[in-house]
Each structure stands twice: as structure tokens, then as C-alpha cells.
Amino acid sequence: MEVVDAHLHLFKAVSEDYPRTVYPGMANAEMEVLAEDLLGVMGTAGVDKAIVVPLGPQDEYLRDLQINFPGRFVGVGNHDPDSKGIAEDLDQRIDLSGIQGIRVSGVDASASTADDPETYELFPLFQAMADRGLKVWFYSEPQQVELYEKVMDLLPGLVTVFNHSGFMVTIDNLAIDEYRRPHFTTDVPPPTLDLLARVAENPNTYVHFSGQYAFSHKPYPYLDMTPVAEALNNAFGARRMLWASDFPWILSEPGYPEQLALVDHLLPDISDTERDFIRGGTASSLFSF
């Protein structure tokens, strides 16, 4: 079974032809991480394909990947909060770069749990995504996950992938570590595992097996993340888990092959079939390369 990296970042230096979001200290304007850089480390690690998520809602480099490396990459775009026509914007982005999902960081900043889901700020986006078969890449705080539960009830066919081991974090807890990687101050295991298990009852929910470096309080292989890995396996099962590297942030520490090896370090007792699904089978079942 092919090995698929289910979440990573590639991007060009900022220019007129390649605008993108800038993250000072982590992804400065002059920094670029190209497909050629990734393919070398993928080959060394035995990884066949990858799902690329840009740093912002700009899809120009995703377009290039589809043209220059057919069959190797698929794209998940980022939600564009400045979009005026949601359906038209999605269709244009699909035509430009072939995106198969959209990453979203919330549902409605002003809503309460008592509100009607159909009035949520981003409900029209989720409806349009469901109509087009686009996957939701969801990464947000607990209250927003609770709101999103109601969205999933109204749109039962919507496929959702909860990012980075299902952690539910806020930007207030984000720092940049000595390796220029994102790091979140949070408990391990997090107090939100029960909420994650609840959303996992929906058969169209999935979760990344990734991001351990950003939450762990221990050095590689992040053994304090073992209870989290076991909770993900118990709640979702291997057929709804997707290994991801979060390249390039892990390139120097712990290293790309080492990131893939975390499946074996943190889930040593799973079967070979389960291992294959986590390392690529699940991603291959969701995306068309």
C-alpha cells in the first residue's frame, strides 16, 4: 500500500506572481520550500504522495504542482475570509488548482452553543463544500468544535479531517521554538479527548496522526503522546487516521523519516494492516491523486 503524507506545506518566496501569507520567524517572505526539496526526503523515507496545504488562501503554487508533478500531490486550500461569492470562489479555485478540501479555523466567532447552525457565519461555506464533495480540514478551539458538531448534524455527508492529533488549541498558546517550529502550550494528554471521541462517533470524521512535536513535553519520540495516539486509535480506528509530517517544520528536528516512524513508536501493537491504513491507505481512500 502506498505511503501518503496527509498534511504538509510547500510555498514560494513572496512575489507578485506568488502572493502568500507570511509568518515572521517561521515562514518569512523570502523563505521558500519547493516540491523538489520535499520529493528528495520523501524518496529517502519511502513516501509516495502528499497532500499540500498552503500557508494562506493563495493557490498559485498548488496550480504549479498539479501541472509539473501530476499524480504526486493534491491540494487542500485555506478558507479565504475575504471571499464575496462562496460557491463561485470555490469553483474558480477548483478550476485553478484542483483543490479537494478547505482548511477552516472555526465556525463563527460570535455564535453561542444555543444558536441555529444554519445562521453560523461559515455555514454557507460548509454547505457549498458538501455540495462539491470537498473535505473540511478543521483546526480550532473546543467551543468551535462544539458548534461544528451541529453543522455535521445538518450536513451528514460532509467529510471532516481534524488536524494534528485532534488537539483543540488557540493562537494565544502558539510560540515558535528554537527550531523555528510552531509549539503550543497545552496539557498532554489534552482535556479535550472526550470531545474528540464524541465527534468521532460521526463516521465521516477523520483525524491526523501528526503534530506531536508541537504539543509534546518530551524529546523525540515524544512518548508522552502515547496516550493521545491510543485515544485516537480507540475513537477513530486506523481506517479513519491519516499520518502526516507537517513538513517543513520537522525537517531538521526530528527529521522526516523519524516523523513517519512515530506510527511505530506510539502505536507499537497495531496490526500490519492498521499500520498501512494510517500511513497511507486512509488518505488514498479519501483523495484522488
Residue pLDDT, tens place only, 72-94:
999 999 999 998 899 999 999 99
Mean pLDDT of the chain: 96
Find, among 96, 48, 53, 38, the residue nearest to 72 by Cα: 48
CA distances (Å), origin 161, targets 12, 36, 164, 172, 289: 26, 27, 9, 23, 18
d(CA 287, CA 264): 24
d(CA 61, CA 98): 11
Find, among 2, 126, 125, 19, the residue nearest to 63 by Cα: 19
Identity of the amino acid at 95: D
Report the SS3 class of residue 103: strand
Cell of 132: 462539491
Q: What is the pTM of this model?
A: 0.96
- Residue written as grid cell 513516501: 47
* Bridge partners for 104 per DSSP: 138
Q: What is the pLDDT at residue 172?
A: 77
At residue 123 the predicted structure's pLDDT band, cuts being 50, 70 and 90, is very high
CA atoms within 13 A on the CB side of 156: 4
d(CA 70, CA 65): 7
d(CA 48, CA 51): 11
β-pair type (174-176, 182-184): antiparallel
Domain ranges of the chain: 4-286
pLDDT tens digits along 222-235: 999 999 999 999 99
- The CATH number corresponding to 4-286 among 3.20.20.140, 3.40.50.300, 3.20.20.110, 3.30.70.141 equals 3.20.20.140
